[in-house]
């Protein structure tokens, strides 16, 4: 249980932003480049994988009140080559066997503290890069990629308080649930597919001691309606042929705490940090899933009390 000393890897951690050249009055070319190595890949209250390497590269521009970034973020885990159940790829495909590499393409525009964002999540599990179309066709095709839009605000810009708010909603791809589920004549769960527009809202605060290079941050995240964050796929048939529905209509997904120590090297050449995070997900929380000793299939997305430690380098 003391795996709780650590934290999940944020896609936008503390970075050293480098301004390279001036492309016009008040407008400067900029880039972010770095990587993190984490003991556990955690995301919005979910256990997404074990030991993972997560590089990030973005380019864009900065001005006095605005900034823009376009970039890619990757996650490659120690078990990510295990796409199939069994000893080789001729065995039955099992999308939940261990974890698969992930590639995110993102763009963020910041205007006076307001951030408009776009992220496309792609998973290297045999799916198409884009999962377009109605949710029933996406599910039928077995595509897994997702597209998200986001809106955020950094209160430090206006109030000088290191508080932030983000709203993130999936708008395309594999993001749907069975509406009015029932057991069909074959004894399987059936129903009409409905797009979930899975939404995750987070509020966080970070206090930094600049002279120590130390920061401590906390976050609370929740989903306001049925979504991938409220276990919308948790439907099953019990031994008596009855429908088991463990879906929530809303949930408090993430109560987390992150502590980080940073060092600067050279003349702003790069920064190196070590960090730890503890995370609690209250959705469907019980004594059986709070902490699970077995890794792999039984742990993916299920464990509710999580932690990680990691290190990062940013240029």
Q: How confident is the model at residue 142 (pLDDT cuts 50, 70, 90)?
A: confident
Distances 11 to 19, 43, 172, 175, 314 between C-alpha atoms, Å? 20, 9, 20, 20, 13
Q: Could you tell me if 30 and 45 are in contact, meaning their C-beta atoms sit under 8 angstroms apart?
A: no
Structural domain spans, the chain: 2-314
| Whole-number Å distance between alpha carbons of 253 and 247 | 13
User: How would residue 126 be classed by pLDDT, with cut points 50, 70 and 90?
Assistant: low
The sign of the dihedral angle between the CA atoms of 35, 9, 135, 119 is: negative
Distance linking the first and last C-alpha atoms of the chain: 34
pLDDT for residue 93: 47
Q: Which residues contact 277 (CB under 8 A, 6 or more apart)?
A: 6, 7, 8, 42, 256, 257, 258, 259, 307, 308, 309
Q: pTM, whole model, 2 decimals?
A: 0.86
Separation of alpha carbons 10 and 262, rounded Å: 15
Least confident of 48-52, 211-215, 257-261: 48-52
pLDDT tens, residue by residue, 58-88: 999 999 889 999 999 999 987 655 544 444 4
Strand partners, 168: 150, 200
Higher pLDDT, 252 or 127: 252
Q: What radius of gyration do the chain's Cα atoms show?
A: 21
pLDDT for the residue numbered 119: 98
CATH number of 2-314: 2.40.230
What pLDDT is stored for residue 19 in this prediction? 42
Over residues 256-305, the pLDDT tens digits come to 999 999 999 877 789 999 999 999 999 999 998 998 876 555 577 889 99
In which band, very low, low, confident or very high, does the pLDDT at 145 lie, cut at 50, 70 and 90?
A: very high
Judged on CB neighbours under 10 Å (0-12, 13-18, 19+), 62 is middle
Judge whether 133 and 150 are in contact, CB under 8 Å.
Answer: no
């Amino acid at each position: 249980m003391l795996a709780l000393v650590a934290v999940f890897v944020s896609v936008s951690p503390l970075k050293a932003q480098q301004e390279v050249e001036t492309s016009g009055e008040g407008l400067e070319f900029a880039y972010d480049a770095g990587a993190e190595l984490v003991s556990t890949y955690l995301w919005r209250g979910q256990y997404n994988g074990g030991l993972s390497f997560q590089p990030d590269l973005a380019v864009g521009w900065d001005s006095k009140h605005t900034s823009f970034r376009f970039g890619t973020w990757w996650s490659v885990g120690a078990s990510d080559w295990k796409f199939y159940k069994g000893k080789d790829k001729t065995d039955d495909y099992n999308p939940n066997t261990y974890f698969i590499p992930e590639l995110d393409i993102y763009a963020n525009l910041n205007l006076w503290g307001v951030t408009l964002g776009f992220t496309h999540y792609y998973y290297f599990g045999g799916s198409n890069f884009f999962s377009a179309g109605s949710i029933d066709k996406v599910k039928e095709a077995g595509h897994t990629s997702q597209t998200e839009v986001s809106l955020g605000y950094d209160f430090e810009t206006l109030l000088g308080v290191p508080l932030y708010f983000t709203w993130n909603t999936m708008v395309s791809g594999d993001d749907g649930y069975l509406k009015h589920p029932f057991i069909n004549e074959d004894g399987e769960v059936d129903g009409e597919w409905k797009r979930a527009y899975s939404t995750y809202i987070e509020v966080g605060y970070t206090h930094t001691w600049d002279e120590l290079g130390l920061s401590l941050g906390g976050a609370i995240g929740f989903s306001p309606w049925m979504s991938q964050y409220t276990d919308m796929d948790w439907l099953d048939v019990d031994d008596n042929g009855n429908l088991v529905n463990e879906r929530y209509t809303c949930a408090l997904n993430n109560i987390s705490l992150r502590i980080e120590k940073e060092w600067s090297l050279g003349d702003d050449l790069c920064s190196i940090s070590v960090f730890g995070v503890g995370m609690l997900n209250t959705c469907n929380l019980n004594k059986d899933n709070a902490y699970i000793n077995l890794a792999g299939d039984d742990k993916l997305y299920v464990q509710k009390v999580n932690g990680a430690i990691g290190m990062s380098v940013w240029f």
